[in-house]
Structure 1
């Protein structure tokens, strides 16, 4: 009896009882992380975020995986500047996609302010989602401003026909471009253009796209990333090229919980048709702009296919194991 009592006490003291946790909680893992991309690979949930710190310290990416949205494993430094010789700082907003048994990580680096500064959007490749990743090109994939879009906040969208698009842009402009099958460059559109602007009203940064019911949902962040007006809005169109007419906001701060909610991504459990929005926010206790945490909520649609406003919580989402 004494040994049993001691064992119970040990389990409680070491937190083993936490294995019964039923919700993810928000934030979903400790540390300051922002711009999270959530995606499902091989019956595991993955989140690839920006390490939220001063630009000079943003020289690596960590990743996190979970079997159930509740228990997360950290994979440290899946890519850093030692593997990308042209990247010096401000490594931002990873977007990861699987193709032909390889994993491709698209990222921004150096926060270039004009075309004469080296940097932009790069791409790295690995054999596993947790890396290690290696620079695919040895140079940026996009290293200049096109249509006024700063080359940051990249997202890779795979359409139903297998075509991959790079959607990106800061400074209130967003471009879409058709990627080559090997991701080493771009294929022009029929009119000969490479970068086509699809900027909707009030767009600032952080684009994301998904397809549902034959429609293309385009989402983005608007407002200032350091301010309370940071939020996520969306539009719906019949083509990935739009036109995208703003419908409204779906994610924004709740002053009683946190502020600066934005720069999101979406995960879809197709077998159970469960939708999740992954985003960052700033706790009310924090004043540093870089004190951002990664959170997750359920996302719902109404009978017309519109996205219902997301309620941000401290509880997060219920545990859910992929089938």
Structure 2
């Protein structure tokens, strides 16, 4: 059960309680005393609040770096089966006017609008393209293969039929590649939500030949839709290994509007079991509307050696999906995306000179702490994907009154990594209402940071903090 911490009145005989600090949403615990980060100039941050890096229709992006050039591929558009663009920095892009997949395999229906989610990689002797198209025989979307000596194409289809096509399970879409210990794998989704089937949508892992033209073993099911926020489907898998753990990114819900979102699951073994995070990693709300329906993601290393997550998001009138990029960090193997709110619960905070007691609230919470001494405080350890300006949101309730019984605002003093960073105000809400503050700017270093909230004016109950 979640616990909430309140800043309310307290006697001098306060109980000192220390709780382990951690990242609440994913359940990751931070070191008790994070080491200070070395002072160094930080590269420019990549954050979706700065806008798309390519303001044109470019859905389901896949990125491959060849030499010093990044090649991006996307779902059909501009009269092309597969779109292609290049960049030196993941920020400034040049769009190629040619179709890098000018012809589909003979097995596929010749309809550009049904060509989705390309995946390209260097196979050592050239480049492999996996693409989704409509299979003539089954009338299902299935995964095919094409090859090219160059990342610019043209890619030429190979094989007499699709590579992956489980027709009884709705077909297959959204191929992605992963390589480990000299073995190539393809990830894919069975399209069980299509065609009125109403079936499960599993993300699979399957070994292939090195050039990806043949399957060399059976498929392993990794995860399916089983969370309320995923609704009918999961899709668009991306697999990386960071911090000794496997991190499986995926998109969920219908792609068509704001409800599309990105989640993740982690495992200690390649084939799982994979444990999903409690909630999504990126949503329209987590970006405060700066990106609408974030999904179709890929992970790539930037020119500065840092990870980036690239993905699409809708424009204002939902007619195009633009290309976005954001700094990506891993806190004990779990992803944190710059600009997307990460929630840290009060129950995982470090509380000094406070009382925690079972006291039911109108909101349903229990375990309320009290802070009212000058040296009382609550500390959250939070993770930043990259250094620079961030925003702090505090989920609180404030029913404070002055001596005449009139409602009043409350406040906490804020410090970040030991330095004073202003005051967080809490407008009056009544004690039975949770609300989020409008947002307080703060500067974080890359990695772990300590945020402290200490008594200032009156009192406020704390449910947790969001950092974006």
Which TM-score bucket, shorter chain as reference? 0.7 to 0.9
1:256 aligned residue: 289
2:62 to 37, 40, 64: 37
* Equivalent-residue separation in structure 1 for 2:256 and 2:77 (angstroms): 12
| Pick aligned residue for 1:238 from 268, 271, 291 | 268
Indicate which of 312, 318, 339 corresponds to 1:311: 339
Q: For 1:213 and 1:149, locate their aligned partners in 2 and report how far apart those are by CA, in whole Å.
A: 35
- 1:168 alignment partner, one of 155, 163, 188: 188
Alignment: residue pair count: 276
Cα distance in 2, alignment partners of residues 166 and 174 from structure 1? 10
Deviation of the 1:52 alpha carbon = 5.0
Give 1 or 2 for the bigger CA radius of gyration: 2
Indicate which of 79, 87, 97 corresponds to 1:76.
97
* Deviation by residue 1:249-287 (Cα, 9 ceiling, x = unmatched): 211113532311111111024x8440101101012x214
Structure 1 portions without partners, runs of 5+: 1-21, 189-193, 319-323
Instruction: Encode CA deviations 1:198-252: one digit per residue, 9 max, x unaligned.
Output: 1244451111101123221111011211132211111111222111110132111
* In structure 1, C-alpha distance between the alignment counterparts of 2:298 and 2:53, rounded to whole Å: 15
For residue 219 of structure 2, the aligned residue among 192, 195, 199 is 195
* TM-score between the two structures when normalised by the length of structure 1: 0.77
| Residue of structure 1 in register with 2:166 after alignment | 144
Which residue number in structure 1 is paired with residue 311 of structure 2?
A: 279
Pair 1:310–1:251, CA change in 2 (3 A): farther
**Maintained 8 Å contact 2:83/2:100:** yes
Return 5+ residue gaps in structure 2 as ranges: 1-43, 193-200, 342-385, 388-468
- CA pair 299-118 structure 1, distance change in 2 beyond 3 A: closer
**What does residue 294 of structure 1 align with?**
323
Deviations 1:115-155 (A, max 9, x none): 72265101111111111111122421112247x36310110
Contact 1:98 1:104 in 2 (8 A): yes
Root-mean-square deviation (CA, aligned residues, Å) is 2.7
Choose between structure 1 and 2: higher strand proportion: 2
Normalised to the residue count of structure 2, the TM-score between the two structures is: 0.54
